[in-house]
Amino acid sequence: MRQPLLSRWATRAVPALLLTLLLGGCPDGDDAGSSATESSASTTEGTTDASAGDDGDATGGTTASPPADGTTSTTGDASTSGSTESSMSTGDEPSSSSTDTSDATTDIPDTSTTAGSGGCGDEVTERDEECDLGEMNGAGDYGGCNADCTLQPACKDGKYQPDFEACDPSADEFEEAAICTDVCTWDGVIVFVSSESFEGDFGGLAGADQHCRDLAAAAGLVMPEQYRAWLSVGGNHAADRIPRVDHPYYRLDGLEIAMTDDDLLDGALLLPPNITEKNESIGSVPVWTNTATDGSMGDGENCQSFTISEGKKYGYGGLSGNTDKHWTDAGLGSSFSDDLDLYCFSAAL
Protein backbone atom coordinates (compact mmCIF):
# COMPACT_ATOMS: atom_id res chain seq x y z
CA MET A 1 0.00 0.00 0.00
CA ARG A 2 1.53 3.42 -0.96
CA GLN A 3 2.71 5.54 1.97
CA PRO A 4 1.00 8.96 2.28
CA LEU A 5 3.05 11.90 0.89
CA LEU A 6 3.26 13.64 4.24
CA SER A 7 4.65 10.56 5.87
CA ARG A 8 7.36 10.18 3.23
CA TRP A 9 8.45 13.83 3.63
CA ALA A 10 8.69 13.46 7.35
CA THR A 11 10.89 10.45 7.00
CA ARG A 12 13.42 12.36 4.84
CA ALA A 13 13.25 15.86 6.30
CA VAL A 14 13.50 15.18 10.01
CA PRO A 15 17.03 13.79 9.95
CA ALA A 16 18.26 16.67 7.80
CA LEU A 17 16.68 19.21 10.11
CA LEU A 18 18.33 17.65 13.12
CA LEU A 19 21.78 17.80 11.40
CA THR A 20 21.25 21.47 10.61
CA LEU A 21 20.35 22.28 14.19
CA LEU A 22 23.46 20.54 15.42
CA LEU A 23 25.66 22.62 13.15
CA GLY A 24 24.39 25.86 14.67
CA GLY A 25 21.48 27.21 12.76
CA CYS A 26 18.77 26.66 10.35
CA PRO A 27 20.11 27.98 7.02
CA ASP A 28 18.14 27.41 3.92
CA GLY A 29 19.35 25.69 0.76
CA ASP A 30 22.94 26.21 -0.34
CA ASP A 31 23.83 28.41 2.69
CA ALA A 32 23.99 25.32 4.87
CA GLY A 33 27.04 23.81 3.02
CA SER A 34 28.80 27.20 2.88
CA SER A 35 28.26 27.81 6.58
CA ALA A 36 29.71 24.39 7.42
CA THR A 37 32.88 25.09 5.35
CA GLU A 38 33.39 28.53 6.85
CA SER A 39 32.91 27.13 10.33
CA SER A 40 35.64 24.55 9.67
CA ALA A 41 38.05 27.18 8.31
CA SER A 42 37.38 29.42 11.29
CA THR A 43 38.16 26.60 13.65
CA THR A 44 41.47 25.90 11.89
CA GLU A 45 42.48 29.55 11.92
CA GLY A 46 41.67 29.87 15.58
CA THR A 47 43.82 26.89 16.39
CA THR A 48 46.74 28.31 14.43
CA ASP A 49 46.48 31.69 16.15
CA ALA A 50 46.43 30.05 19.53
CA SER A 51 49.54 28.00 18.83
CA ALA A 52 51.37 31.05 17.55
CA GLY A 53 50.90 32.70 20.94
CA ASP A 54 53.12 35.76 21.37
CA ASP A 55 55.31 35.09 18.32
CA GLY A 56 53.28 37.58 16.32
CA ASP A 57 54.85 38.37 12.98
CA ALA A 58 57.72 35.92 13.56
CA THR A 59 55.47 32.99 12.62
CA GLY A 60 53.20 34.82 10.23
CA GLY A 61 50.08 33.82 12.22
CA THR A 62 49.10 31.06 9.81
CA THR A 63 50.40 27.72 8.71
CA ALA A 64 51.48 27.64 5.08
CA SER A 65 50.09 25.01 2.79
CA PRO A 66 52.45 22.07 2.27
CA PRO A 67 54.35 21.87 -1.04
CA ALA A 68 52.93 19.80 -3.80
CA ASP A 69 55.76 17.23 -3.55
CA GLY A 70 54.68 16.22 -0.04
CA THR A 71 57.68 17.66 1.86
CA THR A 72 57.19 19.89 4.85
CA SER A 73 58.13 23.56 4.57
CA THR A 74 59.49 25.16 7.73
CA THR A 75 58.14 28.59 8.59
CA GLY A 76 59.26 31.04 11.17
CA ASP A 77 62.52 32.96 10.49
CA ALA A 78 63.39 33.25 14.16
CA SER A 79 63.26 29.53 14.74
CA THR A 80 65.41 28.75 11.68
CA SER A 81 67.94 31.44 12.51
CA GLY A 82 68.27 30.23 16.04
CA SER A 83 68.91 26.67 14.93
CA THR A 84 71.57 27.77 12.41
CA GLU A 85 73.42 29.94 14.90
CA SER A 86 73.47 27.13 17.39
CA SER A 87 74.98 24.81 14.78
CA MET A 88 77.68 27.31 13.81
CA SER A 89 78.60 27.88 17.41
CA THR A 90 79.01 24.18 18.01
CA GLY A 91 81.13 23.58 14.89
CA ASP A 92 83.41 26.63 14.80
CA GLU A 93 84.10 27.45 18.40
CA PRO A 94 85.01 24.62 20.80
CA SER A 95 83.54 24.79 24.23
CA SER A 96 85.63 26.86 26.61
CA SER A 97 85.17 24.16 29.22
CA SER A 98 87.24 21.63 27.16
CA THR A 99 90.85 21.05 28.34
CA ASP A 100 93.70 21.14 25.77
CA THR A 101 95.85 18.09 26.62
CA SER A 102 97.92 17.90 23.41
CA ASP A 103 101.18 19.02 25.06
CA ALA A 104 100.80 16.68 28.01
CA THR A 105 100.06 13.74 25.73
CA THR A 106 103.20 14.41 23.67
CA ASP A 107 105.43 14.11 26.74
CA ILE A 108 104.07 10.67 27.68
CA PRO A 109 105.88 7.84 25.82
CA ASP A 110 103.71 5.43 23.92
CA THR A 111 104.46 2.08 25.51
CA SER A 112 101.92 0.22 23.45
CA THR A 113 104.48 -0.25 20.64
CA THR A 114 107.63 -0.67 22.75
CA ALA A 115 109.46 -3.80 21.52
CA GLY A 116 110.38 -6.45 24.03
CA SER A 117 107.95 -5.42 26.73
CA GLY A 118 107.38 -9.07 27.53
CA GLY A 119 110.83 -9.60 29.11
CA CYS A 120 112.97 -12.73 28.75
CA GLY A 121 111.42 -15.08 26.21
CA ASP A 122 109.87 -12.45 23.91
CA GLU A 123 112.58 -12.88 21.21
CA VAL A 124 113.90 -9.34 21.77
CA THR A 125 117.30 -8.84 23.45
CA GLU A 126 116.97 -5.85 25.76
CA ARG A 127 118.08 -4.33 29.04
CA ASP A 128 120.46 -6.74 30.85
CA GLU A 129 119.73 -9.71 28.56
CA GLU A 130 122.64 -11.25 26.65
CA CYS A 131 120.32 -13.01 24.19
CA ASP A 132 116.69 -13.91 23.67
CA LEU A 133 115.58 -16.63 21.26
CA GLY A 134 112.06 -16.98 22.65
CA GLU A 135 110.93 -20.59 22.68
CA MET A 136 114.45 -21.68 21.68
CA ASN A 137 115.97 -20.42 24.94
CA GLY A 138 117.72 -23.26 26.72
CA ALA A 139 118.13 -25.43 23.60
CA GLY A 140 121.61 -26.71 22.71
CA ASP A 141 124.99 -26.47 24.39
CA TYR A 142 126.95 -24.16 22.09
CA GLY A 143 125.97 -20.98 20.32
CA GLY A 144 122.56 -20.90 21.98
CA CYS A 145 120.73 -18.96 24.67
CA ASN A 146 120.01 -20.13 28.22
CA ALA A 147 116.52 -20.08 29.69
CA ASP A 148 117.45 -16.96 31.72
CA CYS A 149 118.59 -15.11 28.57
CA THR A 150 122.32 -15.49 29.24
CA LEU A 151 124.61 -16.73 26.48
CA GLN A 152 125.79 -20.28 26.23
CA PRO A 153 129.35 -20.78 24.95
CA ALA A 154 129.49 -19.30 21.46
CA CYS A 155 131.93 -18.38 18.71
CA LYS A 156 133.35 -14.86 19.05
CA ASP A 157 132.06 -14.42 22.59
CA GLY A 158 135.49 -13.28 23.78
CA LYS A 159 136.40 -16.65 25.31
CA TYR A 160 138.38 -19.50 23.83
CA GLN A 161 136.49 -22.73 24.53
CA PRO A 162 138.49 -25.72 23.23
CA ASP A 163 135.61 -28.12 23.85
CA PHE A 164 133.56 -26.32 21.23
CA GLU A 165 135.86 -24.39 18.89
CA ALA A 166 139.26 -24.69 17.24
CA CYS A 167 140.00 -21.01 17.86
CA ASP A 168 138.25 -17.74 18.68
CA PRO A 169 139.49 -14.50 17.09
CA SER A 170 137.73 -12.38 19.73
CA ALA A 171 139.56 -13.92 22.68
CA ASP A 172 142.15 -11.63 24.27
CA GLU A 173 144.74 -14.37 24.63
CA PHE A 174 144.38 -15.54 21.05
CA GLU A 175 147.58 -14.80 19.16
CA GLU A 176 146.62 -16.11 15.73
CA ALA A 177 143.59 -13.89 15.07
CA ALA A 178 144.64 -13.38 11.46
CA ILE A 179 144.39 -17.12 10.90
CA CYS A 180 141.19 -17.89 12.81
CA THR A 181 137.94 -17.43 10.89
CA ASP A 182 134.73 -15.74 12.00
CA VAL A 183 133.22 -19.18 12.54
CA CYS A 184 136.03 -20.14 14.93
CA THR A 185 137.85 -22.58 12.65
CA TRP A 186 141.40 -22.44 11.33
CA ASP A 187 141.77 -20.74 7.98
CA GLY A 188 144.95 -22.71 7.41
CA VAL A 189 147.95 -24.34 9.06
CA ILE A 190 150.27 -22.46 11.43
CA VAL A 191 154.04 -22.90 11.01
CA PHE A 192 156.82 -21.58 13.20
CA VAL A 193 160.53 -22.23 13.64
CA SER A 194 161.60 -22.91 17.19
CA SER A 195 163.21 -20.12 19.15
CA GLU A 196 165.40 -22.75 20.83
CA SER A 197 167.86 -25.19 19.29
CA PHE A 198 168.58 -28.81 20.21
CA GLU A 199 171.31 -31.40 19.90
CA GLY A 200 170.56 -34.53 17.90
CA ASP A 201 169.55 -36.63 20.88
CA PHE A 202 166.16 -35.05 21.45
CA GLY A 203 164.37 -38.40 21.42
CA GLY A 204 163.20 -39.00 17.88
CA LEU A 205 159.77 -37.95 16.62
CA ALA A 206 158.10 -38.03 20.02
CA GLY A 207 160.81 -35.85 21.55
CA ALA A 208 160.73 -33.38 18.66
CA ASP A 209 156.93 -33.11 18.86
CA GLN A 210 157.12 -32.47 22.59
CA HIS A 211 159.61 -29.65 22.08
CA CYS A 212 157.20 -28.01 19.65
CA ARG A 213 154.30 -28.35 22.06
CA ASP A 214 156.22 -27.02 25.03
CA LEU A 215 157.32 -23.95 23.08
CA ALA A 216 153.76 -23.33 21.81
CA ALA A 217 152.34 -23.60 25.32
CA ALA A 218 154.98 -21.28 26.76
CA ALA A 219 154.16 -18.71 24.07
CA GLY A 220 150.44 -18.92 24.88
CA LEU A 221 149.45 -20.34 21.51
CA VAL A 222 146.06 -21.95 21.13
CA MET A 223 145.84 -25.76 21.27
CA PRO A 224 149.60 -26.29 21.79
CA GLU A 225 149.10 -30.05 22.03
CA GLN A 226 148.31 -30.10 18.31
CA TYR A 227 151.81 -29.15 17.14
CA ARG A 228 154.16 -31.60 15.42
CA ALA A 229 157.74 -31.34 14.19
CA TRP A 230 158.56 -31.25 10.47
CA LEU A 231 160.84 -34.29 10.72
CA SER A 232 161.26 -37.63 8.97
CA VAL A 233 162.49 -40.69 10.87
CA GLY A 234 162.35 -44.46 10.29
CA GLY A 235 160.11 -44.35 7.24
CA ASN A 236 157.80 -41.75 8.74
CA HIS A 237 157.68 -38.91 6.24
CA ALA A 238 157.20 -35.35 7.43
CA ALA A 239 154.57 -34.68 4.76
CA ASP A 240 152.41 -37.44 6.28
CA ARG A 241 152.66 -36.02 9.77
CA ILE A 242 151.18 -32.59 9.09
CA PRO A 243 147.79 -31.51 7.71
CA ARG A 244 147.68 -31.80 3.91
CA VAL A 245 145.05 -29.23 3.07
CA ASP A 246 143.92 -27.00 0.26
CA HIS A 247 144.38 -24.00 2.56
CA PRO A 248 147.25 -21.61 3.28
CA TYR A 249 150.18 -22.30 5.57
CA TYR A 250 150.81 -19.26 7.79
CA ARG A 251 153.58 -17.83 9.87
CA LEU A 252 152.54 -16.34 13.19
CA ASP A 253 152.72 -12.84 11.74
CA GLY A 254 149.71 -13.81 9.62
CA LEU A 255 151.62 -14.02 6.33
CA GLU A 256 151.49 -17.07 4.09
CA ILE A 257 154.47 -19.21 3.19
CA ALA A 258 152.39 -21.41 0.85
CA MET A 259 148.84 -21.31 -0.54
CA THR A 260 148.24 -25.09 -0.41
CA ASP A 261 150.07 -28.30 0.44
CA ASP A 262 151.14 -28.59 -3.20
CA ASP A 263 152.76 -25.17 -2.96
CA LEU A 264 154.47 -26.21 0.26
CA LEU A 265 156.11 -29.20 -1.42
CA ASP A 266 157.07 -27.77 -4.81
CA GLY A 267 160.36 -26.21 -3.66
CA ALA A 268 159.18 -22.58 -3.96
CA LEU A 269 157.71 -20.91 -0.90
CA LEU A 270 156.11 -17.47 -0.88
CA LEU A 271 158.06 -16.39 2.23
CA PRO A 272 160.76 -18.07 4.36
CA PRO A 273 159.47 -19.93 7.47
CA ASN A 274 161.65 -17.88 9.84
CA ILE A 275 159.09 -16.55 12.40
CA THR A 276 159.26 -18.16 15.85
CA GLU A 277 156.46 -19.15 18.23
CA LYS A 278 157.02 -15.74 19.85
CA ASN A 279 156.14 -14.07 16.55
CA GLU A 280 159.74 -12.92 16.15
CA SER A 281 161.95 -13.15 13.08
CA ILE A 282 164.97 -15.40 13.58
CA GLY A 283 166.64 -14.86 10.22
CA SER A 284 168.31 -17.85 8.58
CA VAL A 285 169.33 -20.66 10.95
CA PRO A 286 169.96 -24.40 10.39
CA VAL A 287 167.01 -26.65 11.18
CA TRP A 288 166.81 -30.41 11.78
CA THR A 289 164.54 -31.93 9.08
CA ASN A 290 165.96 -35.10 7.50
CA THR A 291 163.32 -34.37 4.86
CA ALA A 292 163.51 -33.89 1.10
CA THR A 293 161.74 -31.21 -0.89
CA ASP A 294 158.61 -33.32 -1.47
CA GLY A 295 158.23 -34.06 2.25
CA SER A 296 159.67 -37.58 2.13
CA MET A 297 162.50 -38.89 4.33
CA GLY A 298 165.97 -37.85 3.21
CA ASP A 299 168.98 -40.05 2.55
CA GLY A 300 171.34 -38.56 5.13
CA GLU A 301 172.31 -39.62 8.57
CA ASN A 302 169.74 -39.04 11.26
CA CYS A 303 171.61 -39.51 14.51
CA GLN A 304 170.13 -42.97 14.91
CA SER A 305 166.65 -41.54 14.64
CA PHE A 306 167.78 -38.51 16.64
CA THR A 307 168.53 -40.38 19.80
CA ILE A 308 172.27 -39.81 20.15
CA SER A 309 174.60 -36.83 20.10
CA GLU A 310 177.97 -38.58 20.09
CA GLY A 311 180.41 -39.43 17.31
CA LYS A 312 181.37 -37.80 14.09
CA LYS A 313 178.19 -38.66 12.22
CA TYR A 314 176.21 -35.89 10.63
CA GLY A 315 172.53 -35.28 10.10
CA TYR A 316 171.16 -32.87 7.60
CA GLY A 317 168.44 -30.31 7.42
CA GLY A 318 167.37 -26.99 5.97
CA LEU A 319 167.78 -23.23 6.36
CA SER A 320 164.91 -21.13 7.76
CA GLY A 321 165.81 -18.09 5.68
CA ASN A 322 165.30 -19.79 2.31
CA THR A 323 162.25 -19.99 0.04
CA ASP A 324 163.64 -22.52 -2.46
CA LYS A 325 163.99 -26.24 -1.72
CA HIS A 326 166.77 -25.49 0.74
CA TRP A 327 164.23 -24.43 3.34
CA THR A 328 163.99 -28.19 4.10
CA ASP A 329 166.68 -29.89 1.97
CA ALA A 330 169.85 -27.82 2.14
CA GLY A 331 172.22 -30.84 2.09
CA LEU A 332 173.49 -29.38 5.30
CA GLY A 333 175.82 -31.62 7.28
CA SER A 334 175.81 -31.04 11.00
CA SER A 335 177.37 -32.87 13.89
CA PHE A 336 174.89 -34.59 16.13
CA SER A 337 176.25 -32.48 18.94
CA ASP A 338 175.40 -29.27 17.16
CA ASP A 339 172.37 -27.32 18.21
CA LEU A 340 169.78 -26.94 15.46
CA ASP A 341 166.22 -25.63 15.48
CA LEU A 342 162.97 -27.40 14.54
CA TYR A 343 160.05 -26.50 12.28
CA CYS A 344 156.69 -26.93 14.03
CA PHE A 345 153.33 -27.31 12.25
CA SER A 346 149.94 -27.13 13.91
CA ALA A 347 147.62 -30.04 13.20
CA ALA A 348 144.58 -28.12 14.50
CA LEU A 349 142.01 -27.40 11.78
Query: Do 161 and 204 reside in the same domain of the chain?
Result: no
Domain at 196, CATH number:
3.10.100.10
Spatial CB neighbours of 67, under 8 Å, sequence gap ≥ 6: 73
CA angle, corner 32, sides to 30 and 38, nearest 5? 110
Which range among 71-85, 128-142, 285-299 shows the weakest confidence by mean pLDDT? 71-85
Lowest-confidence pick of 16-25, 142-151, 229-238: 16-25
Q: Is residue 68 part of a domain?
A: no
Residues 161 and 272 in one domain: no
Task: Of 336, 307, 309, give the one whose Cα is nearest residue 317.
Answer: 336
* Portion of the chain with pLDDT greater than 70, in percent: 59
Q: Are residues 323 and 193 in the same domain?
A: yes
Q: How many domains does the chain have?
A: 3
Predicted confidence at residue 54, as pLDDT, reads 44
Q: Is 233 inside a domain boundary?
A: yes
Does 140 share its domain with 182?
A: no
Instruction: Decide the pairing of beta strands 189-193 and 332-335.
Output: unpaired
pLDDT 10s digits, 169-223: 887 766 555 577 888 877 889 999 999 999 888 888 999 999 999 999 999 887 8
Q: What's the pLDDT at 89?
A: 42
CB 208 within 8 A of CB 306: yes
Do 246 and 325 belong together in one domain?
yes
**Shared-domain flag, residues 173 and 183:** yes
Q: Are residues 169 and 286 located together in one domain of the fold?
A: no
Mean pLDDT calculated for residue range 84-103 = 44
Whether residue 87 lies inside any domain: the answer is no
In this structure, the answer to whether residues 135 and 243 fall within a common structural domain is no
- Whether residues 204 and 277 fall in one domain: yes
In a domain, 257, yes or no: yes
> Quick one: which of 49, 27, 52 has its CA closest to 37?
27
Same domain, 123 and 214: no
- According to the model, what pLDDT value does residue 320 have? 97
Q: Are 216 and 344 in contact (CB under 8 A)?
A: yes
pLDDT of residue 57: 44
DSSP state letters, 7-30 = HHHHHHHHHHHHHHHHTTS---TT
Give the amino acid at 268.
A
| Residue range of the domain that includes 183 | 155-187
3-17, 260-274, 290-304: the lowest-pLDDT one: 3-17
Q: What is the DSSP string of 313-335?
A: -EEEEEETT-SBGGGT---EEEE
**One domain for residues 220 and 258:** yes
